[in-house]
A and B are shown apart, each in its own frame.
Chain A
Amino acid sequence: QQQVKQSPQSLIVQKGGISIINCAYENTAFDYFPWYQQFPGKGPALLIAIRPDVSEKKEGRFTISFNKSAKQFSLHIMDSQPGDSATYFCAAGTGNQFYFGTGTSLTVIP
């Protein structure tokens, strides 16, 4: 059973637009929900993370929205830039065990 489902698989956004990536999880015991950004040839880098005690977290142009009752969380990239073009992974877990989504390839067109 896939613990974390991520959509869309790929996304094309115009420069300045909003990119939205969604994830859903199964296990209500999960208490940590990070997003990772990965450029080609590099390892995933932690971008932003949220815990279930808040419904939203914002860091610069990146915002996580969290809906505990629906077991869903999403990443919003405001004012998307060509430099944001990368693969984004959501994850969910607790303690030392994390499960990853299948990734979203984001392309921001100048």
Chain B
Amino acid sequence: SAVISQKPSRDICQRGTSLTIQCQVDSQVTMMFWYRQQPGQSLTLIATANQGSEATYESGFVIDKFPISRPNLTFSTLTVSNMSPEDSSIYLCSVVTGTKSTDTQYFGPGTRLTVL
């Protein structure tokens, strides 16, 4: 299993500012994922972050808006840049552990972002 912590747990930000969300895992993992969950909606994958390489972004998400860092195998950050009210959402960090035959996905508690 994996225990994931995120900081901050919630924040209220002004339009045009940026917020960096931190994700810490209690074990080394190759791949970390960042999801967005808008109110009452399912989870949407933003990007996949591998240590030592550029993050891979899903359609509709770009690096300038959501820069990601992955300095080591237990930590990642997601920055939401130049925020607008449409960015209000829960942002979730996730990891997959295990070998291919036993891959299991775990989620952090999420960061609830409100943009005014």
Instruction: Indicate if A42 sits at the interface (CB-CB under 8 A).
Output: yes
Instruction: Indicate if B64 sits at the interface (CB-CB under 8 A).
Output: no
Bound complex: CA A98 to CA B31 (Å) = 13
Contact A102 B107 (CB under 8 A): no
One of B4, B41, B42, B110 near A42 (C-beta < 8 A): B110
Which residues of A, 76-110, contact B by the 8 Å Cβ criterion? 89, 91, 95-96, 98, 100-103
CB distance from A10 to the nearest CB of B (A): 10
One of B41, B48, B107 near A36 (C-beta < 8 A): B107
**Interface pick from B67-75, B77-85, B97-105:** B97-105
Bound complex: CA A91 to CA B92 (Å) = 16
Contact B92 A44 (CB under 8 A): yes
Instruction: Indicate if A54 sits at the interface (CB-CB under 8 A).
Output: no
One of A32, A45, A103 near B107 (C-beta < 8 A): A45
15 extra interchain contacts, Cβ-Cβ under 8 A, other than A43-B4, A43-B108, A46-B106?
A32-B103, A32-B104, A41-B112, A43-B90, A43-B92, A43-B109, A43-B110, A45-B107, A95-B100, A95-B103, A96-B48, A98-B96, A100-B42, A101-B42, A102-B41
B-side interface residues toward A, CB under 8 Å?
Answer: 4, 31, 41-43, 48, 90, 92, 96, 100, 103-110, 112
9 closest A-B pairs by beta carbon, nearest first, are A43-B107, A43-B110, A43-B109, A102-B42, A100-B43, A44-B107, A96-B96, A100-B42, A103-B42
A-side interface residues toward B, CB under 8 Å?
Answer: 32, 34, 36, 41-46, 49, 89, 91, 95-96, 98, 100-103
